[in-house]
Amino acid sequence: MSHRPRLTPVGAVVVGLSVLIVTGVTAGGAFLATRDDPSADRPRAPRTSLADVRDLTAPIAPPKARAEPTSFTSPAASPAGASAPLTAPRLIAIARGAVSPESLARIAASKDVRKVTLADAGAIRFSTATLNLLAVDPAEYRTWAPKAVAEEPEVWNALARGEFVAESKTAAQYLLRLGGEYEAGGGSRLRVAASAPFGLPGVDGLVAKETGRVLGLRPGVAVLVNTSAGKEAAVGARVKKLLGPDAQIVPIGRAARPTPAPAAPTSRPLVAAAKPGSYLVGRPGSYLDLYKLAAAQVCPGLSWTVLAAIGQVESGHGRNNGPSSAGALGPMQFMPATWKAYGVDGDGDGKSDIWSPYDAVPSAARYLCANGAGLGGAKLRSAVYRYNHSWDYVDKVLRIADAYAHAYS
């Protein structure tokens, strides 16, 4: 495909954090084996009768009010978050295991330590390279970023949406396409929503903690420490003593100071962000139009009939939105953790609502496309299988999709 980045394995190119993070994550079993479709060539079951498919032209009923939260936005996007006092990290400490609250408190109380924060960390396979990521709380970490980055809302909104913000040097080195989705191990994919100069040695980018958990990053192993300039070595030695001899200490020092924005108005922006609206479908009047728009807008190559079939099987096109016995929610029956990684704002109202068909249907298209559904054939079957781990489910969805293709041809 033309969108695949020209990446090469990192190997010895990335030093510093990479050795310890790769060792830690691999030991923790973060990488998941992908599974090929063993039934891709088996015959399909008989076609579903046209009488068994539901009408798609009826008006979409508005979603019922729910007590559960319906949006996934970052508190850091508020003006108050942007104007909070900034803290320059002076060193990163990577521990072998999760840093306990007691150990973190002892580090915070150490001589010359002004402030600390904890992050998840690890190495993931990203397309054909290995990248080191930190997983952070966007609202909390925003105050640790360089000023120009902290003042860029798209960075923090992207993290809150479950997307990847690459370090600027990493994005340039590997020609990452802003807005592109890349394989991230275990069948997962990450959208590169923006790039920014965080200035953290050995760190190739940030994700939110929820996304980090999906990717298998190790919780609570990275400690960022603020101290006075020139105190990094002494503070690092004390932190290493508290965390143990296996801890890795990486000074940041003056490299963490904010990079001034270029003065020339025609120069490239410090923070680069993908263009918004790639998942926007608006508020069409019927599920038929919604499925067609979502497939065409979000995943070219995916037939709208597959989305319609999943919508029928999962909720009867919004007639039974759950929660299911497994905890799935909304007209496309997303699990909350999956929604945090793939949920989008499809109607442009500023929130991603798991109960809204205008958000749920394009989110389902995004999830399917991330797993190869737009390629058709065995890839489509595998993507539908990932939606619901049952080959009987796959056969049922594709039978109904076939019936919709005949009913609305």
- Say whether pLDDT at 235 is over 50: yes
CA distances from 35 to 31, 217, 267, 370, 389 (A): 13, 21, 46, 15, 12
Cα 150 to Cα 258: distance, rounded to the nearest angstrom? 10
Cα 289 to Cα 287: distance, rounded to the nearest angstrom? 5
pLDDT band at 291 (very low <50, low <70, confident <90, very high): very high
* Pair 388, 328: CB distance under 8 Å: no
Q: What is the pLDDT of residues 87-135, one digit of tens each?
A: 889 999 999 999 999 999 999 999 999 999 999 999 988 887 889 999 9
Cα 352 to Cα 74: distance, rounded to the nearest angstrom? 12
* Pair 342, 279: CB distance under 8 Å: no
Q: What percent of the chain has pLDDT over 70?
A: 75
pLDDT confidence of residue 179: 81
- Structure tokens of 287? 């599920």
Buried b (16+ CB within 10 A) or exposed e, 86-104: bbbbbbbbbbbeebeeebb
The strand pair at 218-227 and 164-167 is best described as: unpaired
Q: Which H or E run includes 203?
A: none
CA distances from 334 to 79, 284, 393 (A): 31, 21, 16
- Structure tokens of 106? 């002892």
Q: What is the pLDDT of residues 307-366, one digit of tens each?
A: 999 999 999 999 888 888 888 999 999 999 899 989 999 888 888 999 999 999 999 999
pLDDT confidence of residue 377: 92
Buried b (16+ CB within 10 A) or exposed e, 151-185: bbbbbbbbbbbbbbbbbbebbebbebeebbbbbbb
Number of neighbours of residue 352 by Cβ within 10 angstroms: 26
Q: Which H or E run includes 304?
A: helix 304-315
- Residue ranges of the alpha helices (H) in 316-390? 336-342, 357-370, 377-387
Cα 85 to Cα 76: distance, rounded to the nearest angstrom? 13
pLDDT confidence of residue 87: 84
Strands (E) in 65-128, as ranges, are 91-94, 113-126
pLDDT band at 408 (very low <50, low <70, confident <90, very high): confident
Please list the residue range(s) of the chain that carry CATH number 1.10.530.
50-70+277-407
- Say whether pLDDT at 175 is over 90: no
- What number is the average pLDDT over the span 264-269? 46
- Structure tokens of 116? 């600390």
Domain 50-70+277-407 CATH (choose: 1.10.530, 3.30.70, 1.10.3470, 2.60.40) = 1.10.530
- pTM for the model stands at 0.53
- Say whether pLDDT at 213 is over 70: yes
- Say whether pLDDT at 274 is over 90: no
168 DSSP 8-state letter: H
Q: What is the mean pLDDT of the chain?
A: 77
pLDDT confidence of residue 58: 72
In angstroms, how far is CA 173 from the centroid of its own chain?
Answer: 21
What single letter denotes the amino acid at residue 72?
Answer: F
